[in-house]
Amino acid sequence: MKTKKITRLVAMMLATLTLSALLASCSDGGKDKETDAASSTESPQTQATDTQSNTPDTSAAETEPVETAPQPLTYDSLTVDHEMALSYAKNFSVTYYNGGYKLISVADGSKLLVVPEGRDVPENVPDDVFVLRQPVTNIMISSNPTASLINAIGALDSVTMTTTDTDAWYIDDIKSAMTAGKLSYIGEYDAPDYERISASGCTLAIYSGMLTDEVKTQLNNLGVHVLLDMTTEEEHPLARVEWVKLYGAMFDLEDKADEVFDAQEKYVDEISKLPASGKTVAMFYITSSGKLYARKAGDYMTKMLELAGGTYILSDVGVGETGTVNMEAEAFYDAAKDADYIIYIWSMGGKPETLADMLSRSEILSEMKAVKDGNVWCTTPDYFQISDTLGSMINDMHLMFEASADTDALTYLVRLK
């Protein structure tokens, strides 16, 4: 009996072991026998290594970009975006770079790098390139036409000093700014108050062609860069207006500058579609001392007259030259007595309010055809202080040819009676 019990007990134990093995086999997730066999020969460390993938993956490190320190901005690294398009002006250019940087170059060799507000000044800027940071403020101006261009684009608040005194201004906005103390007289163009300029912190002065070497040197010694406005060197009258684009670039007001220029160009374009008037014109003035000065044939004013559809009667005087020429009254009369119109240049020393005022300077003028016909016109006092409306002035010359006898005044021309 005892033997049978022992036998049954052994059988039950074997059955239990067999069942346990079977359950363990099922818990392996269905591995095939070859995998089980291979796994059984590996050490626990090897299995852990394969399961957790602890071996370094060098392929990822090879493809990831290596971080490098940012390269400093240098003058040579500025990338050109485009050049300013110009229609007439030949004495300046503006190069635009990525990032808002601009290089203003003038025909005399002067260069200004305009640095946008909030941007860094590039390294290695050449010594002959003046760095002008925006916003541009505290400018000194010794060129009235330049002031008119800056005023036309709404940047007059950036100008703090001028070499023209209050009473000598005929541009209302500028005169008002001086009266209000926003714009100060700093002395004559050839003898400015250097002490006040130095104390003001001014770093940029804009001068006309009347700049002397002595003044330029003195200003440079004070740390003031001088930009030469070369509008008087331009060949086409509208080129003088186009200089407004230079100042538009300086103040980030390009759109406004384009608007000013386009309006003046439109006057000339419209007149060019019309037939010439066939009328001849003499242009001159007489100083308080009695000296007569006529515009030269190559002057910008005679070119304005031609664009207006007229003909300058002194076509052989000063050919290819700008400015005026001193003439004896008799010689002038002989050359211009048959002119259909007279445009008398209102200027220092010669400021007639009536026809009698003009004739009192030289009686011989009373025999001129234009005087007898009542076609004597005088420019307004602001004529030479303005460059932003030359197209409108050309239009006035054109309208003069068509004006009726009872027309007393145009925008920039007044009939002398």
Q: How many CB atoms lie within 10 A of CB 175?
A: 16
Alpha helices in 201-350 (DSSP H): 213-221, 237-242, 244-250, 254-272, 300-307, 329-336
Half-sphere exposure of 209 (CA within 13 A, CB side): 9
Of 206, 209, 205, give the one whose Cα is nearest residue 223: 205
| The pairing of beta strand 292-295 with beta strand 324-327 | antiparallel
CB 319 within 8 A of CB 286: no
Residues 169, 42: Cα–Cα separation, whole Å = 102
Q: How many CB atoms lie within 10 A of CB 332?
A: 24
Q: Where are the beta strands (DSSP E) in 328-379?
A: 341-344, 376-379
Q: Which amino acid is at 394?
A: I
| The pairing of beta strand 184-185 with beta strand 187-188 | unpaired
For the entire predicted model, the pTM comes to: 0.82
Q: Provide the token pair at 402.
A: 């068509």
Please state which CATH class domain 75-265 belongs to.
alpha beta
Q: What does the domain layout of the chain look like in residue ranges?
A: 75-265, 274-415
Radius of gyration of the chain (CA): 42
CB 131 within 8 A of CB 125: yes
The pLDDT value given to residue 69: 67
**Environment class of 400 (CB within 10 Å of its CB; exposed 0-12, middle 13-18, buried 19+):** buried
**pLDDT, tens digit only, all 417 positions of the chain:** 444 443 443 444 444 444 444 334 434 444 443 333 333 334 434 444 444 444 555 454 455 666 666 778 999 999 999 999 999 999 999 999 999 999 999 999 999 999 999 999 999 999 999 999 999 999 999 999 999 999 999 999 999 999 999 999 999 999 999 999 999 999 999 999 999 999 999 999 999 999 999 999 999 999 999 999 999 999 999 999 999 999 999 999 999 999 999 999 999 999 999 999 999 999 999 998 899 999 999 999 999 999 999 999 999 999 999 999 999 999 999 999 999 999 999 986 678 999 999 999 999 999 999 999 999 999 999 998 999 999 999 999 999 999 999 999 999 999 999
| The pairing of beta strand 184-185 with beta strand 159-162 | parallel
Inter-helix orientation angle 390-402/300-307, to 10° = 50
Name the helix (H) or strand (E) containing 399: helix 390-402
- CA torsion sign for 18, 20, 26, 29 is negative
Q: How far is CA 350 from the centre of its chain?
A: 36
Q: Where are the beta strands (DSSP E) in 69-182?
A: 80-83, 92-97, 102-106, 111-115, 129-133, 139-142, 159-162
| The pairing of beta strand 204-207 with beta strand 191-192 | unpaired
Distances (CA, A) of 117 to 3, 99, 267: 107, 11, 36
Distances (CA, A) of 249 to 44, 53, 112, 136, 173: 76, 62, 11, 11, 22
Q: Residue with structure tokens 């950036």?
A: 158
Q: Which SS3 state, helix, strand or coil, does residue 60 take?
A: helix
Residues 337, 332: Cα–Cα separation, whole Å = 8
Q: What percentage of the chain exceeds 90 in pLDDT? A: 79
Half-sphere exposure of 245 (CA within 13 A, CB side): 25
Pick the CATH number of 274-415 from 3.40.50.1980, 3.10.20.600, 1.10.286.10, 3.40.640.10: 3.40.50.1980
274-415 and 75-265 share a CATH fold: yes
386-406 residue pLDDT tens: 999 999 999 999 999 999 999
